[in-house]
Structure 1
Amino acid sequence: MESQTQQSRYVRTVSSVAALGGLLFGYDTGVMSGALLYITPEFHMTPTQEGRVTAMLLVGAAIGALLGGRIAEMLGRRLSLIVAAGVFILGSLWCALSSSVFMLASARTFLGVAVGAVSIVAPMYIAEMVPARVRGRLVSLNTLMIVVGQLVAYLVNSVLASSGNWHLMLGMAAIPGAMLGIGMVLLPDTPYWYARHNRVDRAHEVANRAGMHLSEFLDAKEEQGPSRRKEWRALQQRWLLITVMIAIGVGITQQISGVNAVIYFAPTMMSQVGISTTNSVYTAILIGVVSVVACWIGLKIVDRVGRRRLLTIGLSGNVISLILVAIMFRHATESTAMAYLCLALMALFVAFQQSAVSLTTWLLMSEIVPVQVRSIGMGMAGLMLWIANWFVAQFFLPMVDALSATGAFGVFAVLGALSLVFVRIFVPETTGRSLEEVSEEFRRRWS
């Protein structure tokens, strides 16, 4: 038997390596916020084209999320992450070498497939590799690495701002891609996956190293082995279908808050209210720092406060912050001080989002999808999350043109309020409970 110290060290190592996928996810979604300021004049892009180049990553991500769960079931979580790392490397180099809007959009779509797959498989891998008592903190490490990746992107953008070298901004993602691939080569797959594929001895070995009980994974083998029903047929059971729909709703909740409108376009918005292009790139660093600090705080408290309660607090803070942003943006062009006040309010919104909403939604998605439909359920939830993300990226700037920034942020405030109602009605508390216990609650409630 492994000692408790060895088990703790092992699960931290496993989670840290898998969370490099979150770093890549964050870098590739955040880097365009600064790169667009230099790509747009070089390619003479319209606001619609800006949105398209940004959003094509999300088209690929939707495909990757839909397929990610199924591929992870066939190949294993570990090998899926290794393949995704290879796609990250190739996609990053393709972006860096792009010489037209079409080529860049195509490269971003290809890269997005890896982003979407990793967004599903990395939390799944961590959730299945760690004990329930630390699952919240360690799965949330993936979310922390997403915002760290975004901050790294902002810092790279700021360093390269004077040269405007957007090719290097986009190409740098190949480095953490290589780190993820090498790290995953050295790790095993999860006990869940081994048990489902009749490798009980290997499941026992990995579970023992992580401080978990083999009985959990024998249940997985019974439900997911070769004689199990196909997952699509399993969705005919009312409680399983409703549970997957709730997971989809949780994923959409994260995106319709409007967070990625700020992440992707904060520099663009700041440049529109009179702040210089170079300084607009630097303002994104504030958003990045706030994201990392807030997410770190959320990671520390999520297992104590509880997922559902923390999500409720975050959504409430989001709505209030967005209302303030909407009001103050009407006066942002009056003075530089007003513009920076708007930036501060956007940072407040990001603090609520990253400490509570984004952190808990990725965690809840990995916890509430039952083992009987885990690959399809996670894929569907991820697909709808990325579709919602695509709509935000594609239509935010045109919506600002049509409704003004005040109107656009007001729309997000209303959607945040509706999300809060959804969470209070449908989302259960999962803190400190095994994945089987969470599924059993859904079975009792919705059968």
Structure 2
Amino acid sequence: MKKKRSNAWLYFFGALGGVLYGYDTGVISGAILYMKEELGLNAFTEGLVVSSILIGAIFGSGLSGRLTDRFGRRKAIMSAAVLFCIGGLGTALAPSTEYMVAFRIVLGLAVGCSTTIVPLYLSELAPKESRGALSSLNQLMITIGILLSYLINYAFSDAGAWRWMLGLALVPSIGLLIGIFFMPESPRWLLSKGKEEQARAVLSRMRGEKRVEEEAEEIKEAERQEQGGLKELLEPWVRPALIAGLGLAFLQQFIGTNTIIYYAPKTFTNVGFENSAAILGTVGIGTINVLMTLVAIRFIDRIGRKPLLLFGNAGMVISLIVLSLTNIFFGDTIEAAWTTVICLGVFIVVFAVSWGPIVWVMLPELFPLRVRGIGTGVSTLMLHTGNLIVTLSFPILLEKIGISSLFLCYAAIGIAAFLFVFFKVTETKGKSLEEIEQDLKDKHRGSLKTETRTAEQ
């Protein structure tokens, strides 16, 4: 019993970076309503302040894959925690738009690192039978961070104290920095660096003595068969994993999710709500997000990744179409306003049980051990690139084409995402990371044999 409590704390601190990602991305949705006048923001600079965190995230995720493969998962998370502290304090004290953008980029570097490393770290610590649930802790922590930011926004909304909204991110940042000192290194990374004794000690702590030998041998066998590096990431047998990873990462953002997270208050004010009421509405969305992520954690290892992704696509597309048509036919009415609230709520429900946690679970699952860091890094770089494009363009497109046409565009992208998952994504439920890797190799060997037989005929 004591060992289980210890492991629970390990997973908690391992996923704490998700709280910071959620808080720093969610808090801007309320703070932006009050900093506009003080910083003199227009539609472009508003989008720049919101999306500048993603500029840093692109660089952070691009660099973190190689860094975590070279120096280890634990040191990389520690570096991200330091950047979270610097960025949180800097944005709270920023005297101008330029300083705000600069420190939001620093936060983005931390976000890019954490979104690459935390899912990877949790995936490598977790046993295969519960890897989906434990890896989903990252998404749960993200949703908790978002909800926390909404509650803080609402608490300070009457005073318009946007600097306090941003500055309170220091609390979980310091918690992560302290907590990571007590975390073990990934046993898979340790074995890849020849540190077998340390790896076995971690496996013994996480799994118990009986499974240490079996799992250590599986990891070493996978390690012996690979070359590693960017060249291998582009090898034909790894290519299906790379296509799936890049596609899932990019489409998770392009179906419009983070426009709801970042701009929910703006969307609510656009259909007639006052600022404080709009922020309170986002608290409801944040609460739903957390609760439905808990549902996803319960079922992800039972139902599977792919069925939940397809279900989520269908639900999100329907909610976006209904939202758009309601605003087209009913305009600025109380009915349209409340339908917007309901549709956004439905969108968050189905996203939180599908694309929200599952993409973060699958990205590190898809890639072989020696390229898992760089593969996850490249995929999260694509994720943040898609997020940047959507976030930066949202306020401009909202002004130019209106909310109805914009959400219809996201619905069309949702249909494309459904087709991508159906044809390009394979199920990973119930398989060890080494078994998933072996499946990739077996499929490639099969295609080579087919090509050889065809040539001979």
**What is the TM-score of this pair, normalised by structure 1?**
0.95
1:157 matched to 2:153? The reply is yes
In the alignment, structure 1 residue 208 sits paired with structure 2 residue 196: no
In structure 2, what residue type is equivalent to 1:12? A
Which residue does the alignment assign to 1:354?
A: 352
Deviates more, 1:139-148 or 1:39-48: 39-48
Tell me the CA shift for residue 298 of structure 1.
0.9
Instruction: Indicate the residue corresponding to 2:121 in structure 1.
Output: 125
Q: Distance in 2 between matches of 1:193 and 1:201?
A: 12
Corresponding residue for 2:184? 188
Q: How does 1:180-329 map to 2 (within 5 A)?
A: 180-211=176-207, 212-221=211-220, 224=223, 229-329=227-327
- Which stretch of structure 1 is more off in the superposition, 303-312 or 9-18? 9-18
| C-alpha contact (below 8 Å) 1:136/1:303 kept by paired residues | yes
Equivalent position amino acid for 2:140 in 1: L
Of 38, 48, 53, the residue aligned with 1:52 is: 48
Alpha-carbon distance, 1:151 to partner: 0.3
Unaligned ranges ≥5, structure 1: none
For normalisation by structure 2, the TM-score amounts to: 0.93
Query: In structure 1, what residue type is equivalent to 2:370?
Result: Q
CA deviations 1:277-308 (Å, max 9, x no partner) are 12111111111011111111111111111111
Mapped partners of 2:138, 2:326: distance in 1: 33
The alignment yields a C-alpha RMSD, in angstroms, of 1.6
Please give the alpha-carbon distance, in whole angstroms, between the structure 2 residues aligned to 1:207 and 1:313.
36
Provide the rounded CA distance (Å) in 2 between the counterparts of 1:40 and 1:330: 29
SS of residue matched to 1:208: helix
Q: Which residue of 2 aligns with 1:386?
A: 384
> Where does 1:31-50 land on structure 2 (aligned, <5 Å)?
31-50=27-46
- Alpha-carbon distance in 1 for matches of 2:375, 2:216: 19
Alignment of 1:70-219 (within 5 A): 70-211=66-207, 212-219=211-218
SS in 2 for 1:183: helix
Tell me the alpha carbon deviations over residues 200-252 of structure 1, each in whole angstroms, 9 at most, x when there is no partner.
01111111111153444445446558x96341221342011331121111111
CA distance in 2: counterparts of 1:224 and 1:281, whole angstroms: 50
Deviation, 1:434, is 0.1
State the alpha-carbon separation in 1 of the partners of residues 191 and 256 from structure 2.
Answer: 40
- Within 5 Å, which residues of 2 pair with 1:396-415? 396-415=394-413
Which residue matches 2:455?
none
2:435 partner SS: helix
Q: 1:368 and 2:366 equivalent?
A: yes
- Between the aligned partners of 1:443 and 1:332, the Cα distance in structure 2 is 55
CA distance in 1, matches of 2:205, 2:65: 25
The one-letter amino acid paired with 2:309 is: L
Deviation at 1:17, TM superposition (A): 0.8
Distance in 2, Cα, partners of 1:446 & 1:416: 30
Range 9-18 or range 62-71, more displaced: 9-18
Give the superposition deviation at 1:337.
3.8
Cross-structure match for 1:65: 61
Q: Measure how far apart 1:60 and its partner are.
A: 0.6
Distance 1:446 1:159 in 2: 55
Q: Measured at CA, do residues 157 and 236 of structure 1 come closer, stay the same or move farther in structure 2, by a change above 3 Å?
A: closer
1-structure distance, mates of 2:215, 2:243: 25
| CA distance 1:191–1:61, change in 2 (3 Å) | same
Count of equivalent residues:
442
For residues 12 and 245 of structure 1, what CA distance do their matches in structure 2 show? Answer: 33
* Gap regions ≥5 residues in structure 2: 446-457
Cα deviation, residue 6, structure 1 = 4.7
CA 1:144–1:236 in 2, change beyond 3 Å: closer, same or farther?
closer
Contact 1:240 1:373 in 2 (8 A): no
SS of aligned partner of 1:330 = helix
User: Structure 1 residues 188, 433: closer, same or farther in 2, change over 3 A?
Assistant: same
Q: Secondary structure at the match of 1:428?
A: coil
Cα drift, residue 332 of structure 1: 6.1
Quote the Cα distance in structure 2 between the aligned partners of 1:273 and 1:308: 35
Aligned residue identity for 2:85: I
Deviations 1:400-445 (A, max 9, x none): 2222111110011010110111111111111111001111222223
Contact preservation (8 Å) 1:61, 1:117: yes
Determine the C-alpha separation between the residues in 2 that align with 1:293 and 1:304. Answer: 18
- Equivalent residues of 1:12, 1:138 under 8 A apart: no
Say whether the 8 Å CA contact 2:219–2:434 is kept in structure 1.
Answer: no
